[in-house]
């Protein structure tokens, strides 16, 4: 209780600094990396939890870059690491009013296309030193390990290895990495009453990575709906089959990597249960998806 009171006193001091009455401070529940507070109707404060300070630093670099590309995301008004008012780094941001959408807003396709215009070259400075790189990864050692540990039988392991081999021939490996949000999911979207997209929020998982990775936390049914519109808004000539194969690679790879994980009840994201991704793949392909997905099994 004393710690909670101390945090509220610190947040109140930040509110006063920005001209907000203490009575208008309200904590917003949730958030793994940050504690969040609404400061009246116009401002929003996010205070880093211990161990997540670099994620907040990353956001201060990524958000201006994303906004420069036309992405709908709240502007950062203040970033403070002095510990003068708060015992942790914090950002004060523009507050965007909206709700978590039930269905993915159609405008998300265009917003991701805008974001992915920001490409990364190892030979040129990008001005985002806190943003890491990620890649497709190598699933074959993982399949061998899961087989050795008894999670897969040898026949299934061979079938999965062959599936990855077929997918690998379609992967977009030779294209520049782009700036991805890294956690595109309903809980990081704000939408209006008509399911119009208001903002994409929480950039702590941003990375330079294959564009397909940004579709890895949406159910494949939603990805299949979004991809054609996404490709219409991209400037470069990506094939739908190549992008679909790359998305499927991440879904299948991450689904298998989750098999040995211990259950973590109470998590709201659909990928949190250990079998959800695999069952999601089963559900998607059992429903006879359209081309090019139907040709990727």
CA distance 239 to 170: 10
pLDDT of residue 126: 65
d(CA 61, CA 85): 22
How is residue 208 written in tokens? 């330079």
The answer to whether the CB of 26 falls within 8 A of the CB of 37 is yes
- Residue 137: C-alpha distances to residues 108, 134, 250 (Å): 26, 8, 9
Sign of CA dihedral 259, 261, 266, 271: negative
The 10 Å CB-count burial string (b at 16+, else e) for 261-297 is eeeeeeeeeebeeeeebbebbeebeeeebeebbeebe
* Cα dist from 228 to 12, 108, 196, 260, 269, whole Å: 47, 12, 19, 34, 25
What domains lie within the chain, and their CATH numbers?
2-94 (3.30.200.20), 108-295 (3.90.1200.10)
Task: For 221-264, write each residue's pLDDT tens digit.
Answer: 999 999 999 999 997 778 999 999 999 999 999 999 999 999 98
- Closest of 48, 58, 59, 54 to residue 86, by C-alpha: 48
- Please write down the long-range contacts of 17-24, taking CB distance under 8 Å and 24 or more positions apart: 17/85, 18/43, 18/77, 18/78, 18/92
pTM for the structure as a whole = 0.94
Cα–Cα distance, 201 to 74 (Å, whole number): 7
Instruction: Tell which phi-psi region holds residue 135, choosing left (phi > 0), alpha (psi between -120 and 50) or beta.
Output: beta
Buried b (16+ CB within 10 A) or exposed e, 211-241: bbbbbbbbbbeebbbbbeebbeebeeebeee
> Considering just the CA atoms, what is the radius of gyration of the chain in Å?
21
Residues in the chain: 297
**Spans of the chain, pLDDT less than 50:** 1
Minimal CA–CA distance to 39: which of 49, 53, 28? 28
């Amino acid at each position: 209780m004393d710690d909670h009171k101390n945090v509220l006193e610190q947040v109140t001091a930040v509110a006063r600094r920005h001209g907000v009455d203490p009575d208008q401070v309200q904590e917003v529940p949730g958030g793994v990396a940050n504690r969040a507070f609404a400061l009246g109707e116009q401002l929003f404060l996010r205070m880093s939890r211990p161990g997540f300070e670099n994620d907040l630093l990353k956001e201060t670099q990524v958000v201006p870059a994303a906004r420069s590309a036309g992405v709908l995301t709240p502007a950062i008004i203040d970033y403070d690491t002095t510990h003068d008012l708060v015992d942790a780094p914090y950002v004060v941001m523009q507050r965007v009013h909206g709700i978590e959408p039930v269905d993915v807003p159609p405008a998300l396709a265009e917003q991701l296309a805008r974001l992915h215009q920001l490409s990364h070259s190892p030979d040129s400075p990008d001005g985002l030193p806190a943003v890491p790189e990620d890649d497709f990864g190598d699933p074959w050692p993982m399949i061998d390990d899961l087989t050795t540990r008894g999670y897969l039988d040898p026949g299934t392991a061979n079938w999965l290895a062959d599936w990855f081999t077929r997918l690998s021939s379609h992967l977009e490996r030779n294209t520049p990495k782009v700036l991805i949000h890294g956690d595109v999911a309903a809980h990081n979207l704000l939408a209006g009453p008509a399911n119009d997209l208001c903002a994409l929020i929480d950039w702590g998982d941003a990375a330079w990575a294959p564009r397909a990775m940004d579709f890895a936390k949406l159910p494949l049914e939603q990805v299949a709906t979004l991809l054609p519109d996404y490709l219409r808004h991209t400037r470069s000539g990506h094939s739908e089959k190549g992008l679909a194969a790359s998305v499927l690679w991440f879904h299948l790879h991450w689904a298998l990597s989750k098999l040995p994980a211990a259950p973590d009840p109470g998590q709201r994201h659909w990928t949190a249960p250990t079998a959800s991704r695999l069952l999601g793949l089963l559900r998607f392909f059992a429903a006879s998806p359209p081309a090019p997905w139907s040709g990727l099994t």
